[in-house]
Structure 1
Amino acid sequence: MEQRIVLLCLALAGAGPCLGSFSDYDYGGMPVMINRLVGEPSVLSLRGRVDANWYRVMNSESCPLECDCPTQWPSAMYCDSRGLTYVPTTLPPRTQYLFLQGNRISSLPPEGFKNSTLTRWLILDHNEMVSNQISGAVLKGLPHLQNLFINYNNLTDIPGPLPDGLKQLRLAHNKIGKISPNAFENLKNLTLLLLHGNQLKTIGEADFKGLQSIILLDLSHNKLIEFPKNLPPSIQQLYVSNNSLASLPQDCLMGFDRLQYLRISHNKLVNQGLPADVFNVPSIVELDLSYNQLSSIPPVHQALQYLYLEANHIQGTDA
Structure 2
Amino acid sequence: MTIVASQDLGDQGQKESSPVVVQWRWYHHVPSLGLWAVLVALLFLVPANRCAQAWLIVLPVLAVQLGWSMFARLLSLPVGVAENAGGVLVALAVSWAAVWLVAPWLTQRLIPVGLALALLLMWGVGGVYSFSAYDMASLNQAGVSILAVLLGSAVLLSSTVLTATCCRRSARPERFLPWALWWTVVVTLMLVALLATVLMIGPFIIMGLLDGNGAWDVVSVVLGMMIGLLIWGGVLGVAIYLVNLPFLLLARQSPLFRARRDDTLRPVSVPEDAGPDAQSVDDAVVADPDSPAMVKEL
Provide the TM-score with structure 2 as the length reference: 0.23
* Structure with the bigger percentage of strand: 1
Q: Which has the larger radius of gyration?
A: 2
**Greater relative contact order (Cα 8 A, min sep 6): structure 1 or 2?**
2
* Structure with the bigger percentage of helix: 2
